[in-house]
């Protein structure tokens, strides 16, 4: 897949201002196409968020997300790539690797799952409001929040809210 680069402006705003920015890791498009009966509730939430809520947010991915989809053994790999194709892709910059390495060194993220550190580094470096994931062990884990606050404080980086699609529904009044 051809590498895409960051756009300088958000594609749209609302009457109340720009949409909140959301960084997606690979688990969200993966769950969109998942068919495991044990995950049906999470799959339905993912599809509902994508189909009915995503438009309320300015959604981005990274080359790391694309690489994980392209090199993984996903049964719906082509469909996943097609799903994320319209999204903006963040620029790869050297700071991302440095931040991810720091997360691993400080034992915030495991070395064996280096992609998680990279996704968090992108969301932090690019100052996203949210990192959206179904990874509740390494990312959307409240037990890691205080450690992340300390590490990002030392790095002078903001901390994105790390949520699952279940937690990021735009209220319609």
Question: For residue range 146-170, what is the model confidence (pLDDT) as tens digits?
Answer: 888 899 999 999 999 999 998 988 6
Is 13 contained in some domain? no
- Cα separation, 19 vs 16, in Å, equals 9
Question: For residue range 47-68, what is the model confidence (pLDDT) as tens digits?
Answer: 999 999 999 999 999 999 999 9
Backbone φ and ψ for 17, nearest 5 degrees, come out as 130, -175
Predicted local confidence at residue 7, as pLDDT:
40
pLDDT at 89 > cutoff 50:
yes
Counting the structural domains of the chain, the total is 1
Is 162 contained in some domain? yes
CATH number for 78: 3.40.50.1010
Is 32 contained in some domain? yes
β-pair partners for 61: 89
Question: Which residues form the domain of 135?
Answer: 19-167
Q: Do residues 160 and 128 touch, judged by C-beta distance below 8 A?
A: yes
């Amino acid at each position: 897949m051809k590498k895409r680069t960051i756009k300088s402006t958000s594609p749209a705003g609302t009457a109340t201002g720009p949409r909140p920015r959301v960084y997606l890791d690979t688990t969200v498009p993966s769950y969109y196409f998942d068919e495991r009966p044990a995950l049906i509730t999470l799959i339905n939430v993912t599809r509902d968020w994508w189909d009915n809520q995503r438009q309320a947010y300015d959604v981005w991915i990274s080359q790391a997300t694309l690489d994980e989809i392209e090199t993984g053994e996903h049964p719906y790999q082509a469909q996943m790539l097609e799903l994320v194709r319209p999204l903006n892709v963040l620029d790869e910059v050297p700071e991302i690797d440095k931040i991810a390495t720091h997360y691993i060194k400080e034992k915030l993220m495991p070395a064996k799952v280096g992609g998680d550190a990279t996704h968090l580094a992108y969301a932090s470096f690019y100052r996203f409001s949210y990192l959206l994931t179904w990874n509740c062990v390494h990312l959307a884990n409240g037990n890691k929040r205080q450690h992340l606050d300390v590490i990002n404080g030392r790095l002078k980086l903001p901390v994105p809210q790390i949520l699952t699609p279940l937690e990021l529904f735009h209220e319609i009044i």
